[in-house]
Structure 1
Amino acid sequence: MEVGDQLPAETALADRMDVSRTIVRSALQKLDSDKLIRWEGRSKMLIRKPQAEHRLVPAESALSAEELEHSFFEWILRFDVPAGTSLNVAQLSRQFGVPVHNLQEFLAGLSRLGLVERRPRGGWSLLGFTSEFAIELSEFRMLLELNAVRQLLTLPADHEIWNRLKVLRREHEDLKSVIAERYHDFSLLDEKFHSAINSVVRNRFVLEAQKLIKLIFNYHYMWDKRDELERNAAAIDEHLEWIDAMLERDSERSEAAAIKHLRRSKETLLQSLRVHKFA
């Protein structure tokens, strides 16, 4: 642009930059305060070319991509954020302590998994799930985790997975003893448990599929909270049964325990969809 040119309307800028009008307005306010534009009503005229000192230094993210993912879904779980909720990127950026562009990239990744969508006028929304989506994902999860169990049971006695399972067993027993007060904490333990089992499989395609499965099942942000305590207590017992069977190297019991738990997870997810009227 040349000095004296008029800036486009805020809506046009938002569309061009692929951001919300709130972000555009914040940028315009910064340009106005730096006396780079003259902002009078609807008129925004360029009065001085920007120099290097006018650029903001991008802040380094305090969170890794994995930590941001964890914080985001922990927030959804803790505060029962329902499907269809509009996501305020600027607010979430401050809340999680990450630059806006990092959060935008993270949400773009989730959109490829069908978990969020970009609104036509900018910003993001959480999506719901259909019963067909839940059934297909549950069946695929069953195939992947049964395959992981079979591979796990062939590993030598000195493999690190056996110590991990023993530690996980103690953590399940500890949480079981205080489940009435800390039932929300099961989601994190559930993620840890399933991640340990799936970690024995080294397959790039499986790893990508497991990411989606983890986000849906382990951060069950649409699940009906009315019986969360009872459901999590039952799941702990199912995990313990599964762990004991694997530690004893009993393939038949291990697969039976896995099928029992994964089928119940599927039923719970479908029930959640009915409660939230997505099925």
Structure 2
Amino acid sequence: MARTDDRFRSAYNKLLDICTNMEVGGQLPAEVVLAERMEVSRTIVRSALHKLDAENLILWEGRRKTLVKRPDKRHRLSQSESLPTGEELERRFLEWILHFDVPAGTSLNIAQLSRQFGVPAHSLQAFLSGLSRFGLVERRAKGGWILSGFTAEFAVELSDFRLVLEMNAVRHLLSLPEDHQIWGKLKEIRKEHEDLRRDLKDRYHDFSTLDEKFHTTINSVVKNRFVLEAQKLISLIFHYHYMWDKRDEQERNAAAIEEHLDWIDAMLAQDRARSEEAALNHLRRSKETLLASLKNHKLG
């Protein structure tokens, strides 16, 4: 196992120990304090905090990191796992970009990043070459790589492309026979939305995961390698944008749940016009919330 990955896992488990000894509703110390206490860099602390937030153990709002629930043995990370897979590298790298830790235009140090992400340098080079197709990184004329970054312009283009892909997926889905497995999946996801709506006051932070599952399910009916590659990036970005702006989070998620339900009901009724209208309504609103969330990072 790479030493960087080992340090992250060890730090994350130490952070879990800190949370275990806190009262629910309590505030975690500042990042610099945690870094000193855990004897790791602030970058590793920040990565561990983002994982806590993604696991819904804390609620991260600006500098406030509130403990939502105490962790248990399920949350601890093993210290004996192998090198990250290509999919895991992709997720870690994109998380690094989407957390805005590094500004656009930054030169990428391959040796340093290979240690940070726990992969051989040649694997990282190959990964960056593939990622350059989406415009997030760019190969320099004299060698090396530069981070183009996630900008408002990129967000607009990605949202418009997402609309094209998902409208196509809706049309494809509605042409499938009644015995296709997608109809059962939609019914299951509808129930998950109803369950979340009923418990939204206590579980509203769970919506981003359900949103990702919903859109991935719709796009799964299109068997196209290019769509699948783009969908990975789209899913991750639209998943993380729910974490960028915590203002009115419960109200926004409640509205999005209703939009999803309208869309699901229209598809289950196999009403093409209504399905397309519901899809357009939700995707346009998602674009608006994505751009609004970027204002927190002075990119909107």
TM value normalised by structure 2: 0.58
**More displaced stretch, 153-162 vs 113-122:** 113-122
- Among 144, 149, 168, the alignment partner of 1:127 is 149
- Contact 2:155 2:290 survives alignment (8 Å): yes
1:184 equivalent in alignment to 2:166: no
Distance 1:201 1:168 in 2: 18
**More displaced stretch, 64-73 vs 234-243:** 64-73
Residue 272 of structure 1 corresponds to 293
Cα deviation for residue 115 of structure 1 reads 3.5
Distance 1:227 1:126, change over 3 A: farther
1:261 equivalent in alignment to 2:266: no
- Among 250, 259, 263, the alignment partner of 1:229 is 250
Deviation readout 1:141-185 (Å, 9 max, x if unpaired): 212111110110111111010111111111222222333333332
Distance 1:266 1:124 in 2: 27
Letter in 2 for 1:177: R
Distance 1:183 1:113 in 2: 31
- Contact 1:146 1:255 survives alignment (8 Å): yes
- Contact 1:83 1:126 survives alignment (8 Å): no
- Contact 1:93 1:99 survives alignment (8 Å): no
- Contact 1:76 1:221 survives alignment (8 Å): no
Deviation readout 1:207-265 (Å, 9 max, x if unpaired): 33323322322332774222322222221111111111111111111111101100001
Residue 252 of structure 1 corresponds to 273
Distance 1:174 1:62 in 2: 37
**More displaced stretch, 115-124 vs 233-242:** 115-124
1:212 equivalent in alignment to 2:233: yes
Distance 2:114 2:240 in 1: 23
Residue 47 of structure 2 corresponds to none
Deviation readout 1:47-78 (Å, 9 max, x if unpaired): xxxxxxxxxxxx9845433345456667888x
Distance 2:133 2:247 in 1: 31
Distance 1:154 1:68, change over 3 A: same
- Contact 2:92 2:117 survives alignment (8 Å): no
Bigger Cα Rg: 1
Distance 2:251 2:143 in 1: 42
Distance 1:91 1:147, change over 3 A: same
Distance 1:259 1:194 in 2: 13
Deviation readout 1:24-56 (Å, 9 max, x if unpaired): xxxxxxxxxxxxxxxxxxxxxxxxxxxxxxxxx
Distance 1:267 1:124, change over 3 A: same
Letter in 2 for 1:201: V
1:243 equivalent in alignment to 2:279: no
Q: CA RMSD in A?
A: 3.5
Distance 1:169 1:212 in 2: 24
Uncovered stretches (5+) of structure 2, i.e. residues with no partner? 1-79
Residue identity (%): 63
Tell me the SS of whatever aligns to 1:195: helix
- Contact 2:97 2:149 survives alignment (8 Å): no
Total equivalences in the alignment: 215
Letter in 1 for 2:103: G
TM value normalised by structure 1: 0.62
Distance 1:157 1:70, change over 3 A: farther
- Contact 1:151 1:200 survives alignment (8 Å): yes
Distance 1:73 1:204, change over 3 A: closer
Greater relative contact order (Cα < 8 A, sep 6+): 1
